[in-house]
Amino acid sequence: MQLEMIPCPKCNNDFPLKRKELGYHVCVNCSTVEPVVGITTVEGSGDHTYNDLIIMEQSRARSIAQKEAELLGKKVHIELLDFDTDETAVSQSIKEHVSRILDDELDDEDEYEEKEGIEGIDY
């Protein structure tokens, strides 16, 4: 089955007509829609609890987390996964680094200082 393609009004590259039928007016590359995040919650009480999922834009989730941390007097920690990064390139650089250590090209004692125990605790 061949997708029917139409030109993007912004960049003039082709994109599927189905995308336009779903309410999008430009191609993915020209889109300004922000990625969304999913936040899991536990609702109810006692034996009647259930999990729920709230889906919202990253900026809104970040601002809610920052306000919550501010009100609680804590530091904000938000973990957002970036699916635009090339995971194979990251994995490859880690493999190359491990290979250099194993091949003794990199002196591991210089780079990784081994500490005995935990600072401030007597053994």
Domain ranges of the chain: 1-33, 34-76, 84-114
Amino acid at 16: P
| Residue labelled with tokens 């996964």 | 81
| Residue labelled with tokens 């090339």 | 86
Kindly tell me if the per-residue pLDDT of 29 is higher than 70: yes
Contact yes or no for 13/6 (Cβ under 8 A): no
Q: What is the per-residue pLDDT for 11? A: 93
Q: What is the per-residue pLDDT for 8? A: 92
Contact yes or no for 11/29 (Cβ under 8 A): yes
Q: Does residue 69 or residue 88 have the better pLDDT?
A: 69
Q: Does residue 21 or residue 111 have the better pLDDT?
A: 21
- 0.75 exceeded by the pTM? no
Cα separations in angstroms, 45 against 24, 42, 49, 90: 41, 9, 5, 43
pLDDT, mean of residues 53-64: 90
Kindly tell me if the per-residue pLDDT of 28 is higher than 60: yes
